[in-house]
Structure 1
Amino acid sequence: MIYPTRRMILVAAAIAPAALVLGLVLPAWWTAGLALLVFLILLAGVDMLAGVPTRSIAVTCEGPGSVGVGESFSILARLRFERQAPGFAEAALGMDGPIAAPQGWRANVDLVGDGGSAAFALIAERRGTIRLEAIWTRWTGPLGLIWKQRRLVLDQAILVLPNIRPVREDAARIVNRDAMHGLIAQMQLGEGAEFEALAEFRQGMDRRAIDWKQSARHTALLAKEYRTERNNNVVMALDAGRAMCEPIGGVPRIDRAASAALLTAYVALKEGDRVGFFAFDSRPRASSAPIAGPRAFPMLQRVAAGIDYSDNETNYTLALATLAGSLSRRSLVIVFTEFADTISAELMLSALGPLLKRHVVLFVVLKDEELEAFTAAEPAEADDVSRAVMAAALLRERALVLTRLRHLGVEVVEAAASQAGPALVQAYLDIKRRSLI
């Protein structure tokens, strides 16, 4: 595509009134104005022919194959001309998907020799697939009167996954911290329920572990050592209904929950347990059987990435009954959910019966920082007082529901969005240490 630049339009706009004035003042020279316009058109033709042709460009785009939700990343477009590069060039991206460009979709190309590059700063807003459909490039001729533009089809895909960068960082920090204090070693030997061996009683061991019969036989204090059970089932049940798709801190709750679930899954797989995912809203949406091994985490990551956003109300009865029917052995079921009112909470509480009979249930809810901010803020107007009163009432109802869950025997983790992952890992390790699974 070839079209005039701003410079040519401004020059043509300046010639037109000059030709009109010349025709009024000197009628015999009225053709001079037309001559100027013809001369400008000839210059544009020379600029078009002398510049770099549109067929002489090749473009490649370099970017990540996958990014995490909320992450900033960049795409580098590299331009290569068959001959010398023009004096000035621009590039623009054509993309579709859950993405934003804070600095715009167009960038100037840094030209050196016979090519150049342009960088685009982007942000992944939510999970999904970003399609890099095409890139537009344009450059001017030597006189700057003509734009030459070309569209090149790319058809590249970038997956937006749950953010796993903090998953690996937090997991490494937790494991290193536990190893430094000896927690991992204690859980592997001495804190489980499976008998391992008899050992001489040492200072700091649990006195209830002393085997008095064997001690009398050997005339020395002997204690039973246990090992932590491995190969336990851990199921991450994620509510993907309307309430969980609301943003908290600019990121949907379901994405926060998916990151915390992946962090815990990463630690659980390191502990030798089997991990599965289960997503639901008005009906079950995604499910994976508990798996272990080196390939388990990438598979769980793909399952978590496939959990779609939904505006349906959550059907706890159907979802939890389906989950209970699919589990053939005692498991730790970690439920990520959010309840907006006491009615939905009552339905949730009544649906827990089939799970609590055989399994250990752990509920994870994110603190509503907005409501807490309303109650903590100093009121300046009457509306602030009414807002704080309503927020306090909602927080009281929330605390009542969590208390009822604990009375039913459900483990509850309530944490801020940024601390949900580490808090859940600590709860999981505590459940294993107490041999509840």
Structure 2
Amino acid sequence: MIYPSGRAVWAAAAGAIPAFLIALALPSFWYLGLLWICILLAFLAVDAAAGRGRASLTASLSAPPQVGVGGRFTLHVAASLGGRQSALQARVGHDQRLAPVAGTGGAALPANGGTLDLEFDALRRGIASFDRLWLRWRGPFGLIWNQVVLPMDRKVAVLPDVRSARDEAITLLQRSALADGHAQRRAGQGREFEALKDYQPGMGRRMIDWKRSARHGKLLAREFRVEENNNIVLAIDCGRLMCEPVDGVPKVDRAVTAALLSAFIALKGGDLVSLFSFDARPRVSSGAVRGSPSFMMIQKRAAEVDYSSEETNFTLALTTLAAKLDRRSLVIIFTDFVDPISAELMLRTVGRLTERHLVLFMLMKDAELEALADMAPATPEDVARAVTAGGLLRQRQVVIGRLRLLGAHVIEADHQRLGPALVERYIQLKEENLL
């Protein structure tokens, strides 16, 4: 694509004044005023021919593979024009997850190739992409712009900000006495054998190892610990209802933060963790990983949990998930629902899932509905809104009650307490040997 530069426009405007004066002074020689236009067109043609060089154009984008939400990073644009001494200007196309600090380009690269550094702020979690690169350069006379649009496929994973989650996880670990990230070793808790110790008054008789006691001539008791290697599945609903904002942040983002917090705790405790997301169909499915170093992989896969406007298909998603589980697992489902009718298919699928696995539903309290239901009415419209909100809340409790009757555990917590509430229940389930 070629088009005239500002210099060509000003040159054409400057030639119009002498042509007008010639036409006024010498009406019979008015055609001499066209001479400047012909000369300018000739220069434009030469400039356009000399400025071509798309075949020798090379360009690339370089950016960090990942960045945290709210972080700032630098995109490096490198381009050259086959050894020509032409200054290139560049501009990049990006999605809404990123915001340019000072525009998306336009500054000139050094002649004969160079690098242009552009700064971006990461606004929202997900996989951000740079899909296009505009490059333009002028001909020898500076009268013509030559512009090309190059398709690019550079992606940057905008990861959830886990700094606060890490701090909170460390606090919860210390509170629960999970020293060095290992399972709790409290006598009488758990079913995994740990060691033998001398029997002390107050210990239960079931802890006595009678065979070894007879062999050593003294009472010995078995010490157990909470089991490791439990399979934990974090299933995140990213459908339409979960993309609604709560206090300015989408529910799915709050679910991802809570899931990462629990994943950090579970990996520290020696359990296996996998991530699963779904809307109308399964989206993200990571394999089970173990150990603290694997948390980075879970964090990267969490960035792939995208926002969706589709209705959630619980039947397809949970059936697919159940088919992938070859052992008893703790399935933690982050979701939301409105009424029993919309949740009917979910309830049928959950009934089959609880026959083999331990299912835990994580729900966020609907602060907006609760505020409407508790608001003092001043007009008939306020009364109607309060009655409607109260009805929706009662229907929500009906679904929660049916989930509990099916054997599922349900936590309905405030959006700011979602992560800690999940971790506390997870530790409680381990101590009660329910995993």
So what's the TM-score if we normalise by structure 2?
A: 0.73
Q: Give the secondary-structure state (helix, strand or coil) at the position aligned to 2:270.
A: coil
Alpha carbons of structure 1 residues 57 and 419: separation in structure 2 relative to 1, 3 Å: farther
Query: Which deviates more, 316-325 or 357-366?
Result: 316-325
Pick one of 234, 237, 245 that aligns with 2:235: 237
Matched, 1:188 2:184: yes
| Alpha-carbon distance in 2 for matches of 1:393, 1:325 | 37
- Would you say the 8 A contact 1:23–1:30 is kept in 2? yes
Percent identity at matched positions?
A: 42
The 8 Å contact of residues 166 and 261 in structure 2, kept in 1 or not, is answered as no
Q: Find the counterpart in structure 1 of residue 340 from structure 2.
A: 342
Corresponding residue of 2:62: 62
Bigger mean CA deviation after superposition, 419-428 or 335-344: 419-428
In the alignment, structure 2 segments of 5+ residues that lack a partner are none
Moved more, 359-368 or 384-393: 384-393
**What residue in structure 1 maps to residue 3 of structure 2?**
3
TM-score, structure 1 as length reference: 0.73
Give SS of 1:183's match. coil
Partners in 2 of 1:134 and 1:325 — Cα distance? 40
Displacement of 1:363 after TM fit?
0.5
Deviation at 1:263, TM superposition (A): 3.8
| Equivalent pairs, count | 426
State the distance in 1 between where 2:169 and 2:161 align.
Answer: 16
Matching residue of 1:91:
90
Secondary structure of the residue aligned to 1:429 is helix
The counterpart of 1:157, out of the listed 136, 145, 154, is 154
* Structure 1: runs of 5 or more not aligned: none
Q: Matched residues in 1 for 2:293 and 2:252: separation?
A: 24
Amino acid at match of 2:427: L
Q: CA deviation at 1:365?
A: 1.8
What one-letter code is carried by the residue in structure 2 that aligns with 1:360?
Answer: L
Q: Report the equivalent of 2:170.
A: 176
Question: Could you tell me which residue of structure 2 aligns to residue 121 of structure 1?
Answer: 120
Query: Is 1:275–1:292's contact at 8 Å kept on the other side of the alignment?
Result: yes
CA distance in structure 2 between the aligned counterparts of 1:287 and 1:401, rounded to whole angstroms: 27
Instruction: Measure the CA separation in 1 of the matches of 2:375 and 2:39.
Output: 71
Q: Given that residues 255 and 334 in structure 2 are in contact (C-alpha distance below 8 angstroms), is that contact kept between their aligned partners in structure 1?
A: yes
Amino acid at match of 1:189: R
Letter in 1 for 2:185: L
Q: Equivalent residue of 1:189, what SS?
A: coil
1:59, distance to aligned residue in structure 2 (A): 3.3
Residues 381/175 of structure 1: CA separation in 2 closer, same or farther (3 Å cut): same
1:414 corresponds to which residue?
A: 412
When structure 1 is superposed on structure 2, of 243-252 and 60-69 the one drifting more is 243-252
Structure 1: how far apart are the matches of 2:232 and 2:342?
A: 25
Alignment of 1:347-366 (within 5 A): 347-366=345-364
CA offset digits 1:90-122 (Å, max 9, x no partner) = 312245x67555679742225567645141536
Measured against aligned partners, the alpha-carbon deviations of 1:17-62 in whole angstroms (never above 9, x if no partner) come to 6624541343155244223334544665787799897777653321
Alignment-mate amino acid for residue 432 of structure 2: R
| Cα distance, 1:364 vs structure 2 | 1.0
- Residues 146-295 of structure 1: pairs in structure 2 closer than 5 A: 146-152=144-150, 155-158=152-155, 160=157, 163-166=159-162, 169-170=163-164, 172-178=166-172, 180-181=174-175, 183-185=177-179, 187-190=183-186, 191-197=189-195, 225-246=223-244, 253-254=251-252, 256-281=254-279, 290-292=288-290
The Cα of 1:334 is off from its aligned counterpart by 0.8
Distance in 2 between the 1:270 and 1:421 partners?
A: 16
1:432 and 2:430 aligned: yes
Closer, same or farther: CA 122–286 of 1 in aligned 2, 3 Å: closer
Residue in 2 that maps onto 1:397:
395
State the alpha-carbon separation in 1 of the partners of residues 380 and 198 from structure 2. Answer: 70
Within 2, Cα distance between the matches of 1:284 and 1:151?
35
State the alpha-carbon separation in 2 of the partners of residues 47 and 291 from structure 1.
Answer: 61
404 and 5 in structure 1: CA distance in 2 versus 1, 3 angstrom threshold: same
Shift of 1:428: 1.8
